[in-house]
Structure 1
Amino acid sequence: MRVLFLVIGLTVTNCHIISDYQEPNFTNEEPDDFSYYLNDVPDFEIVHFSNFPSPTHVEHPLEIKIFGNTLNLRLRRNELLTAPNFKALVKDDVDRELNFTGKSNCHFLHKDENFMAAISFCQDQQAQGILFLPNDTFEIQPVPVSKPHTYNVPHLVRRIPFLPEVFTNDVSSVILPLEENQQKFKRDENGGSKKLTIEAALFFDEAAYKLFAPYFKYNDEELTNMLLAYMNAIQALYHHPSLKQAIDIVLVKLEIFKKQPADLPHYDGERSQLLDSFCAYNQKHNPKDDKNPSHWDMGLYVSGLDFFAYENGRKSGVTMGLATVGGVCMDKYNCVIAELGTTNVFGKPYPSAGFTSVYVLAHEIGHNIGMHHDSTGNNCPKEGYIMSPSRGTNGETLWSSCSANIMRTMGWAKCLEDAPSKPAKKLDHTKYGKQPGVVWGAKKQCEVLLRDSDAEIYNPAELEGICENLRCKTPHRSGFYFAGPALEGTSCGDSKSCQGGKCAAQKKQPTQNVVKGGWSNWTNVSECSSACIQRSKGFMPRRRTCTNPKPVNTDEGCEGSGYEVVLCMDDKLCKNKRQKINEFASKKCKQFSKLLPELDKNASGLQATYESDRLWMSCAIFCRRKNSNSYYTPRFELNDLHEDPYFPDGTWCHSDGKINHYCIQHHCLPENFKLTKGILPDDDLLLPQNAKPNAKPASDNLMKYFSIDLNKTPLLKILKPESEEPKDDDDEWFDEDYIEIPGLDL
C-alpha cells in the first residue's frame, strides 16, 4: 500500500463560471475566454458603468441597474485585501515573482443595512466583483471581446446559484476593513473554543512542474489556479460538519520550482531523506517569529516524484506522503511531503495522481495536527474515514469521531490561534467556495488525473456513483481509471451535487432554462502524417468541442467523442521510401524490450491476422517472447506510456476483397467507415488501469489473450473482464505514513 503524506490548505473567495452568452452585439468573443464567464446559470444582464474611480479615490459612488432594481453603492477602498508580505515565486535560474496582486489601490467595498459589495477596478474601464443582497448574490465580470475597448466596456452581471454556507465566512472577512476599528480577527466563541487557522506555505517541486506544466501549456497562472482548487478541496474537508470544529487554511507563500533549489535535494523520492531535506529547507526559509506576517505554521512540499521507502531490506513504492504527528507548531517538525500526479514506471496513475490526492493530503494534515490512524490507539473503525490507515480510490470522505475528538483538544496548538492577513485575491483558494467541483467538474477532474484534455467520464449514465468513485477514460488508452471520490460540489445529476461523498439534492432553485449542447465543426490538429508503411495511408487527427451551443443547466453534454482520426493521401510524403510492416514492427519491438526485458530484442515483430470480433488484433504490434514460441502484444503494460503498442493510424490491416481496411484509433476499420455518433466499437480491455501498490505480472489468461503462435493463431480468443478485474483492497495501500516525535504525548 502507498503511504499517505501530509499537505496543507488555503482560503478562497467564491468563484463561479458562467456559460455561453450570445447577443447580437457581441458575436466576436473568443469562445475559450468567454466560456469562463458563462456556465450553468443563464440569469444575467449586460450593463455599462458610467464612471470609474481614480487611483487617488478613497471613496467612490456607483449606481448599478439590474433586474429592475437600482443599487446605489458608496464604495470604500479596501486596504487589507492583499497581505503586504505575501510572495508567490517561480524559481528557475532567475527567480520571478508572480504578479497576481494587481494594483494595491483598486479594491473597493460597500456595506449598508441592505446589502454588501466587493468590487475591483484593477484594469482600465473594467470592474470585477460580487454583490451580496439579502436573498441573492451577483457576480460582475467584464465581457471579453475580440477588439479592445477604450471606454464603456460591457459588463455581465449574473445571479450566482445558492450553495449552502458557501459565502458565510467570506462575507464577514470582506466586511472587516469597514469596521470602525478595523479589528484584525474575531475568535469563534462556539463552545468556548478558539478559531483555528493554519497559515500554509506551498512548494511545488520541479518533478511536479514537469508533469503538469505541459497540460496547462506552461501557463503559470493556470497551474496556480489548479493548485488553489486542490487546496480549496482540502479546506472543504476541514470545514465538514463531521469534524465538529472547522479549521481555516490560508496561503502565506507559494513557490513553483521550475528548477529544484540547490538546498533542497530530493533523493529521488526516498521518503525519509526527502522529508528531512524539506524540513531543513522549510525551517531555513520560514521566519522564526510567529507574529511575523510572513511566517507560516506548516510547510507543504507537493511533489511529482514517486515516493518510496525501504522495508525489511526491500524497496516499497506504496508510500504517498509523510508527516510527523503533532509537529505543526514546532519549527523542526511543521513540514509535510506529498505526491501529486505520480504514476508507476508504466505510466499507470497511483491514487495520488489526480484530485484523490486531496484526501491523502487532508489525512496527512490530520497527522501533523495530532491525529493518529483510526483503529490505532482508539476505538474507531479501521476503514471508512479520512484517517483510515489505508488510502485507495474508494470512499473515505468523512471524519471519524476519533478525529473530531482531537479537534476538541487543540489548546496546545497556540500557533494556530493568530489571525492571518487576507491573501491576494487571485492567490486565495476560497474563491472556489468550498465547492471546487462547481468549477472543476467531473470531466476536468478526469483531465487532471490523466493529464489529457480528451479524458472524460467513463459512463455518463452512472453519474450518481461518481461521488464515491469517479471513473475516467480517454480515446488514447484502453480500459478505465479510478479517480477517487469526485470533488465537493461536482454535479452528479439533475439538481444534485457531491456533498460529503454522497450524491445529494441541491436546495430547490428557480426553474432554469435548459440548453442542450451541440458540437462545433471539426478542426484539424495537424497536417497529414504517415509512417510510410507499404499499402498504408496517412492520417490527420482532428477535434471538435461541445460549444455550439455549450450545454446550460444539463449534465448530458454532447453525444460522441470530441476526437477522431481521418485518413489522407501520403504519396507526397512517402514517395519511394515505404517500409515493410514487419520492419516497422521489429524496430518497435526492440524499443519495447528496453522496458520489458521478457521480449526478445533481436527477434522480428509482426502483424496479426484480422479478426472481426477483435478489431484491435491486426493493429497491435506483436513481439517474440524470450524462450517461447509465441508472440505477445504489450497492450496492457504500455497502455499508459508514450510507447504506443499499436501500428500508426492509416496502417493497412485487412481487405475483404472489395474494401481495404486501415487502423483508425487502434481498430481495423473499412476505409469508408463513418462514426455516426463519433463513438468507436467497444474496447475489450474493460479493466481498471490504475497502478497497484505491489506490481504483479499479468495473469496467464491475460497473457494468452494477448498472444499468438508462430502461425498467428490466438492462444485465447475470449477473456472475461470480471474474472481479471482485481478486487478492491485498500489494505494493500496500508503503511505507516507518520513519524512520532520523541517525548511528545498527544
Structure 2
Amino acid sequence: MAHILKVVFVALFFALRGGTPARFPDILPFHGWWSSGVNPGEKLEDGSKDVQVVYLPALLPREAQTDGSSADHDVPLSYSFDAFGRNFDLQLLPNRRLVSSQFRVWSENGPDEALSTVDSTCHFLHSGPGAVAAFSACRDHKLHGLIMTENSTYEVRPLSSGAGRVPKGGRHERTAHVIRRAPPPPPLLDDDRPLRRTVRRPRMYPAKPTPSSYTIEIALFLDEAAYKLFYPHLNYNEADLRDMLLAYINGVQALYHHSSLGTRVNLSLVRLTLLRSQPSSLSTLAERGRLLDSFCEYQRSLNVDDDDDPEHWDMALLLSGLDFYSEEGGHRNGVTMGLAPVGGVCLPAHACVVSEFGASDTLGRPYPSAGFTSVYILAHEIGHNLGMHHDGTGNSCARDGFIMSPSRGTNGEATWSTCSARVAADLQWATCLFDGSDDLDTPKELQHERFGNAPGVLWGAKKQCEILLRDKDAAPAQAPGASSEAAQCMQLTCRSPHRAGFYYAGPALPGTSCGNGKWCQGGDCVEADPAVISSAKPPLQGQDTWNEWSEGTCNSGCTYRSRGARERRRSCSENSICDGSSYDVALCDDSKICGKKKRVTATELAARKCGEYAARLPELDPRGGGLQAPHDPTRMWMGCAIFCRRGEGGGFYAPRVELNDVGLDPYFPDGTWCHYDGSSNYYCLQHHCLPENFKMTTQFHIWELPSEDIGGPFNARARAAPDDSAAALRAYLSLDNMGTPLARAAIPPHLPEDDETDWEVLDYIELPARNKTKKRRGAAALTARREHGDASARSLRATRTCGTPHSALTARTDSAPAPALASASALTSSLTLV
C-alpha cells in the first residue's frame, strides 16, 4: 500500500510544483488502489459511511483550454459537486506535463514505432487551500481521480457500465460515480528532498532491499507467432492485447508472492515489445535450443549494460506461439514448453527465458501452454533462471505437486516446494535484484500491479476459457466427476458450442471466483480479500444481469426439409455473475436464402463433406459417400453428425474427434432436419437433434441436455491414447454398413488423461560453475562488468561465441545455482524439457 500512495504523492508533488514530467500517461486509480485502506461499510471516526454513489456532471476536455493569449496560459475550469456532507469546489487546469516524450511501448515491424498515443487534454489538476486533486476524463467523459485534503483522501471512479445515467447532453449529463473515502496516509516525502527520477539509487546504497525481498526488472517480448494468434482473437485491439499480457504477468507475480515461496520476489516490467513481424536476428524455428540462443543474443543487443539505467532489465522473457520441440536421438520431442539457463539471471548473455503461449498441436488441440496455464510454465522457467532445479532432482522434495515439478500438466501444481523456497531465500548472489524500480518511471500501460495479484478478478473463468480456445463462445463447465465450483482452482474445465468434449485450462488464475465470497489462490478456494473485491462493483447474480441478445444473419445448408439458423449472443453485465449460456442458435426462415434451387439431401451433403474430410484423414474412403444416422434420444448428437464410409473394414465413422480443432465442421449445418416424432419435426441446433419448438431458457444450457458427450480432456496429448481407449472411442463413433450404431450403450467412453510422467522433460540448461560461493559469483560478475566496462562485455561475448564444451557441464543441486556462460545450441544433446 505504501508504495502505491507514494506514487500518488510524488506524482502530485511534481505536477503541482512544475517538476520533471512523469513517465507514465495517467494518474488514475487502478484496480484496488485503496484496497488496504477502509472496506465498504466500515465506519470512520465520525460514524459516516466511507462509500457514496454521486451523479457527477461530465467533464469535457475542450472546456479547459488555453485562452489563445499563449500556449501556456490555461483557463481554469470550475467543477463543483457535493459528497459526504461537504462541497468540493475545484478549479481544474489541464496537466500538460504528465506524459514524457520518452514514453513508448515498442513494436518490431521494421522500424520501432509507438503503438499508442496518449490524449494530453483529458488530465487535470487542482491545487488550492487545504486540498489537491488529480482527475482524468479520457473515456466517455467519466471521471477517475483523487482528492486529498488534510483529513481524508477521496477516490473517484465511474460506476460500472450499465449503471444509471441522467442524459441531458454536454455538461448537464450526469453519470453515476463511486466516491470512496479513506483516512489520509502518513506523509512520505519531505518537500526539500531532491528527487532523481531518471537515475536509480546506486546499487551499493540500497534504500529498502533486504535479503528477504528482491525485484526482477523484466523485458517482455511477444513473438510474431503469438501475436498472430491473440491479436485477431482480441478484435485487432493492441490495447486489449497489452492488457491481457499485463494480467498474464500479474498472474506470474501472484505466484512469486505466494506464501509458500517464503521470500518476496517482485516483478517490475520495464519494457513490453509486441513483435508484429519477427526480427531477422530472432529465430522463427520452433527448435527450442536455437530459439533460446537467438533470443538471448537479440535481447542482449537491446539491453542497456548499466544496471542503474532506468531502461535496463535483469531478465528478458519471450512468449512464443510456436510449438516447441527438442531434437533427441534423431527424433523430435514435442513435450516441451519452455527453456531457461539455470542461474542465468544477472548475466547479460543468460538472463533470458523462452516459454510457449498459445501453442497447439498439428490437429489444433491446445497444449497446456495454450491458455493461462502458461503463467505456471513461465513461473517455472523464471525459477530456473533464478537458480531453481526440478523438484526431486538432486534434492529431497517430491517430484510432483509443485511449480518446479519436472512435469507440467493441467492439474494443480500451483505452490512452491521447500526446495524452491530455499533457493529464493538464498539469492544474495544475484545483486542485480537488489534495486527496486521506481513506479514513477513506469507507464500505466506497463503496470501489471494494478491487477493486485488477483488477475482472475478481471480475467475471470470465462475469459480464461476464451483465451485457451481462442473462442469467444467458450465458457467454463463443470468437469465430469467435479464436485463443486472450487475444483476449478486446481483445474479449470472449458467447453465450446463449436467443439465436442472438455478442455482443461490448468489451475484458474489467482483471484478467479470459486464461490460466494471466495476466490482461487495457490490452487485452493479460499476467502477472497474484501479490500480487493470492494474496489469494484459488488457482483450481482440473477437473470437481469444479462444484456440483450444480439442476433446474426440467417444461414442455411439448403438441405431437404431444412430450416435456416441464426446465431444469438449476449454478454454478462460488467461485474455480474450470470447463469446460463452466452451463445444460442435459433431457427429462421431460409426460403429467401435457398430460393427456388433444388435442395440437396442430407446424404448428398454428407458425401461432399466426406470427400473433404478424406483429404485430411486417409482412413476415410474419399468416394465412399456418407450418411445421416437416425435420431437417438440418448445420444442427441448422432442425427447431426456426418458419418463417412471407412476405407478399410467397412462401416461408417463420424470423425468428431479428429476434426474437432482443425476448422472442418464434422456436423450437418444447424437447421438441418434430423427427425420426426409423429407430431413435431426435429432440427439440428448446436449439433443436437432438437424439436422445432425447443428454446433455451434464461438459465438453461444446451450442455445440460440428457445427452452425455465424450468425457476426458480433448487437449493435445503427450502420448497417443491407449489402444483399448481408442478402440472404445472408435466404436462409439461408428455405424455398421446398415447404419446401426456399433456401441449399444448410451454412456460414452472417457478419454484417459495423460500420466504426469508423460510430460516430464528437462527444460533447463546447466551453466558451468565458476565459484563455489554464490555471493562471490554474483558479486564478481557485477564487479567485472562495472569495473571493466566494454572489456568485460567483450570478454562475455567472446566466451559466448566460443560456446561451452559438453564436458564443462556439472551436476548441481538446488543449493548451488551456477550463473555462468554456455550456449543452448552447444548443449542441445543434453537438453529435454518440462
Q: Which TM-score band (shorter chain)? A: 0.7 to 0.9
**What is the one-letter code of the residue matched to 1:688?**
P
In structure 1, the residue matched to 2:421 is 404
Of 345, 349, 356, which aligns to 1:339?
A: 356
Does the 8 Å contact 2:564/2:589 carry over to 1?
Answer: yes
CA 1:137 to 1:596, structure 2 compared with 1: closer, same or farther past 3 Å?
A: farther
C-alpha separation between the residues in 2 aligned to 1:576 and 1:425? 58
Of 456, 474, 479, which aligns to 2:501?
A: 479
C-alpha separation between the residues in 1 aligned to 2:75 and 2:420? 47
In structure 2, the residue matched to 1:443 is 462
User: Residues 208-235 of structure 1, C-alpha deviation per residue, up to 9 Å, x if partnerless?
Assistant: 1221122211011111111111111111
In structure 1, the residue matched to 2:779 is none
Of 310, 317, 325, which aligns to 2:334?
A: 317
**What is the one-letter code of the residue matched to 2:486?**
E
TM superposition shift of 1:383: 1.7
Map 1:183-202; keep pairs closer than 5 Å.
192-193=210-211, 195-202=213-220
Does the 8 Å contact 2:713/2:753 carry over to 1?
Answer: no
**What is the one-letter code of the residue matched to 1:300?**
L
Does the 8 Å contact 2:227/2:276 carry over to 1?
Answer: yes
Of 203, 228, 237, which aligns to 2:221?
A: 203
**What is the one-letter code of the residue matched to 1:413?**
A
Map 1:719-738; keep pairs closer than 5 Å.
720-721=747-748, 724-727=750-753, 729-738=755-764
CA 1:341 to 1:151, structure 2 compared with 1: closer, same or farther past 3 Å?
A: same
Of 271, 275, 278, which aligns to 1:260?
A: 278
In structure 2, the residue matched to 1:294 is 311
In structure 2, the residue matched to 1:688 is 713
C-alpha separation between the residues in 1 aligned to 2:559 and 2:75? 71
Map 1:70-219; keep pairs closer than 5 Å.
85-92=102-109, 95-99=112-116, 101-103=118-120, 106=123, 119-120=135-136, 127-130=143-146, 138-141=155-158, 151=171, 154=174, 156-158=176-178, 180-182=193-195, 192-193=210-211, 195-219=213-237
User: Residues 386-425 of structure 1, C-alpha deviation per residue, up to 9 Å, x if partnerless?
Assistant: 1111111111111222222222222222222334343111
TM superposition shift of 1:339: 1.0
Does the 8 Å contact 1:447/1:453 carry over to 2?
Answer: yes
CA RMSD of aligned residues (A): 4.1
CA 1:561 to 1:459, structure 2 compared with 1: closer, same or farther past 3 Å?
A: farther
C-alpha separation between the residues in 1 aligned to 2:95 and 2:632? 70
Map 1:566-581; keep pairs closer than 5 Å.
566-581=587-602
CA 1:148 to 1:416, structure 2 compared with 1: closer, same or farther past 3 Å?
A: farther
User: Higher mean Cα deviation, 83-92 or 509-518?
Assistant: 509-518
In structure 1, the residue matched to 2:30 is 15
CA 1:656 to 1:494, structure 2 compared with 1: closer, same or farther past 3 Å?
A: closer
Of 368, 373, 388, which aligns to 1:356?
A: 373
- Secondary structure (helix, strand or coil) at the match of 2:660 reads coil
Map 1:633-672; keep pairs closer than 5 Å.
633-672=654-693
C-alpha separation between the residues in 1 aligned to 2:541 and 2:192? 44
In structure 2, the residue matched to 1:24 is none
CA 1:416 to 1:58, structure 2 compared with 1: closer, same or farther past 3 Å?
A: farther
Of 376, 379, 382, which aligns to 1:365?
A: 382
CA 1:427 to 1:536, structure 2 compared with 1: closer, same or farther past 3 Å?
A: same
Quick one: higher RCO (CA 8 Å, sep 6+), 1 or 2?
Answer: 1
Does the 8 Å contact 1:372/1:387 carry over to 2?
Answer: yes
Does the 8 Å contact 2:64/2:74 carry over to 1?
Answer: no
In structure 2, the residue matched to 1:582 is 603
Of 560, 567, 579, which aligns to 1:541?
A: 567
Does the 8 Å contact 1:44/1:158 carry over to 2?
Answer: yes
Of 442, 462, 465, which aligns to 2:484?
A: 462
C-alpha separation between the residues in 2 aligned to 1:336 and 1:83? 31
C-alpha separation between the residues in 1 aligned to 2:138 and 2:566? 44
- Secondary structure (helix, strand or coil) at the match of 1:699 reads helix
**What is the one-letter code of the residue matched to 1:257?**
L
TM superposition shift of 1:316: 1.5
Task: Please state which structure has a larger fraction of its residues in helix.
Answer: 2
**What is the one-letter code of the residue matched to 1:684?**
D
- Secondary structure (helix, strand or coil) at the match of 1:214 reads helix
C-alpha separation between the residues in 1 aligned to 2:159 and 2:309? 37
Of 288, 293, 309, which aligns to 1:276?
A: 293
Map 1:673-684; keep pairs closer than 5 Å.
673-677=694-698, 678-680=700-702, 681=705, 682-684=707-709
Does the 8 Å contact 1:78/1:109 carry over to 2?
Answer: no
**What is the one-letter code of the residue matched to 1:742?**
P
CA 1:59 to 1:542, structure 2 compared with 1: closer, same or farther past 3 Å?
A: closer
TM superposition shift of 1:75: 9.8
CA 1:189 to 1:316, structure 2 compared with 1: closer, same or farther past 3 Å?
A: same
**What is the one-letter code of the residue matched to 1:540?**
R
Does the 8 Å contact 2:567/2:583 carry over to 1?
Answer: no
Q: TM-score, normalised by structure 1?
A: 0.83
Q: TM-score, normalised by structure 2?
A: 0.75
**What is the one-letter code of the residue matched to 1:99?**
S
Q: 2:619 matched to 1:598?
A: yes
Number of aligned positions between the proteins: 698
Of 521, 528, 534, which aligns to 1:499?
A: 521
C-alpha separation between the residues in 2 aligned to 1:302 and 1:160? 38
C-alpha separation between the residues in 1 aligned to 2:148 and 2:647? 70
Does the 8 Å contact 1:454/1:563 carry over to 2?
Answer: no
**What is the one-letter code of the residue matched to 1:255?**
T
- Secondary structure (helix, strand or coil) at the match of 2:675 reads strand
Structure 1 gaps, min length 5: 1-9, 19-40
Does the 8 Å contact 1:76/1:110 carry over to 2?
Answer: no
**What is the one-letter code of the residue matched to 2:312?**
H
- Secondary structure (helix, strand or coil) at the match of 1:87 reads coil
User: Residues 492-547 of structure 1, C-alpha deviation per residue, up to 9 Å, x if partnerless?
Assistant: 11121222221112356899795623244432212x22222233222211223344
Of 617, 629, 633, which aligns to 2:650?
A: 629
Does the 8 Å contact 2:571/2:582 carry over to 1?
Answer: no
CA 1:470 to 1:136, structure 2 compared with 1: closer, same or farther past 3 Å?
A: farther
In structure 1, the residue matched to 2:43 is none
Does the 8 Å contact 2:321/2:356 carry over to 1?
Answer: yes
C-alpha separation between the residues in 1 aligned to 2:341 and 2:126? 42
C-alpha separation between the residues in 2 aligned to 1:175 and 1:154? 36
User: Residues 525-579 of structure 1, C-alpha deviation per residue, up to 9 Å, x if partnerless?
Assistant: 12x22222233222211223344xx675xx4x13355322323223543422433
User: Higher mean Cα deviation, 582-591 or 617-626?
Assistant: 582-591
TM superposition shift of 1:241: 2.2
CA 1:154 to 1:252, structure 2 compared with 1: closer, same or farther past 3 Å?
A: farther
CA 1:738 to 1:102, structure 2 compared with 1: closer, same or farther past 3 Å?
A: farther
**What is the one-letter code of the residue matched to 2:507?**
P
CA 1:741 to 1:74, structure 2 compared with 1: closer, same or farther past 3 Å?
A: farther
TM superposition shift of 1:619: 1.1
User: Residues 75-99 of structure 1, C-alpha deviation per residue, up to 9 Å, x if partnerless?
Assistant: 9999998676553133335653122
**What is the one-letter code of the residue matched to 2:397?**
C
**What is the one-letter code of the residue matched to 1:233?**
G
Does the 8 Å contact 1:45/1:67 carry over to 2?
Answer: no
**What is the one-letter code of the residue matched to 2:145?**
G
C-alpha separation between the residues in 1 aligned to 2:459 and 2:503? 18
User: Higher mean Cα deviation, 43-52 or 213-222?
Assistant: 43-52
- Secondary structure (helix, strand or coil) at the match of 1:326 reads coil
CA 1:111 to 1:626, structure 2 compared with 1: closer, same or farther past 3 Å?
A: farther
C-alpha separation between the residues in 1 aligned to 2:226 and 2:602? 38
**What is the one-letter code of the residue matched to 2:468?**
L
In structure 2, the residue matched to 1:427 is 446
Structure 2 gaps, min length 5: 1-23, 34-49, 67-71, 771-815, 818-834
Does the 8 Å contact 2:555/2:590 carry over to 1?
Answer: no
Of 708, 728, 739, which aligns to 1:712?
A: 739
TM superposition shift of 1:180: 3.0
User: Higher mean Cα deviation, 611-620 or 675-684?
Assistant: 675-684
In structure 1, the residue matched to 2:781 is none
Q: 2:637 matched to 1:611?
A: no
